[in-house]
């Protein structure tokens, strides 16, 4: 499309036509950003593990050392360590998980994660991490 200015008028475009073309091309190629699926929160992970094991979230976060509470707690610790950002970095640190699970020490979380991994190696049917696969 060629627009001719009226006679006697000095017509100069506001920006060079090459820039106009690039702006138009960028607006055509632009697409809205992709929405990432929501990452599960620590509260959601604990609630899911508690529901699957038949205990309450308070039991998992509590101080009890009963096996029926410790095994779900270890699974929750492991699941929290599996949540990652898009760049691959972990969302929850050991101290964050430890604080959320009753103010424990971060080495307790590390030990729980390792124990859960050992249980999974011995028995692949252990746990059902469904919340991570959202």
Question: How confident is the model at residue 102, as a pLDDT?
Answer: 93
The Cα–Cα gap between 126 and 120 comes to 6
Question: How confident is the model at residue 133, as a pLDDT?
Answer: 45
Is it the case that residue 100 has pLDDT exceeding 80? yes
Least confident interval from 7-11, 76-80, 119-123: 7-11
**b/e map 83-109, b = 16+ CB within 10 Å:** beeeeeeeebebeebbebbeebeeebb
Question: How confident is the model at residue 70, as a pLDDT?
Answer: 96
Q: Which domains does the chain have, with CATH numbers?
A: 42-122 (1.10.1750.10)
State pLDDT tens for residues 19-60: 555 555 555 555 555 655 678 999 999 999 999 999 999 999
Top mean pLDDT of 29-38, 86-95, 104-113 is at 104-113
Rounded to whole angstroms, what are the CA distances from 134 to 7, 45, 74, 80, 129?
66, 12, 21, 14, 10
Q: Hey, CA dihedral for 38, 43, 46, 51, is it positive or negative? A: negative
Q: Is the pTM of this model over 0.85?
A: no
């Amino acid at each position: 499309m060629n627009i001719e200015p009226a006679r006697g008028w000095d017509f100069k475009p506001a920006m060079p036509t090459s820039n106009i073309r690039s702006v138009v091309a960028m607006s055509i190629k632009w697409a809205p950003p992709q929405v990432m699926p929501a990452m599960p929160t620590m509260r959601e992970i604990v609630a899911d593990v508690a529901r699957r094991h038949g205990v309450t979230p308070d039991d998992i976060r509590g101080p009890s050392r009963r096996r029926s509470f410790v095994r779900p707690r270890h699974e929750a610790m492991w699941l929290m360590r599996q949540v990652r950002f898009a760049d691959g970095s972990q969302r929850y640190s050991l101290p964050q998980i430890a604080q959320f699970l009753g103010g424990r020490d971060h080495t307790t979380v590390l030990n729980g994660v390792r124990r859960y991994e050992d249980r999974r190696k011995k028995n692949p049917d252990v746990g059902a991490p469904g919340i991570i696969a959202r």
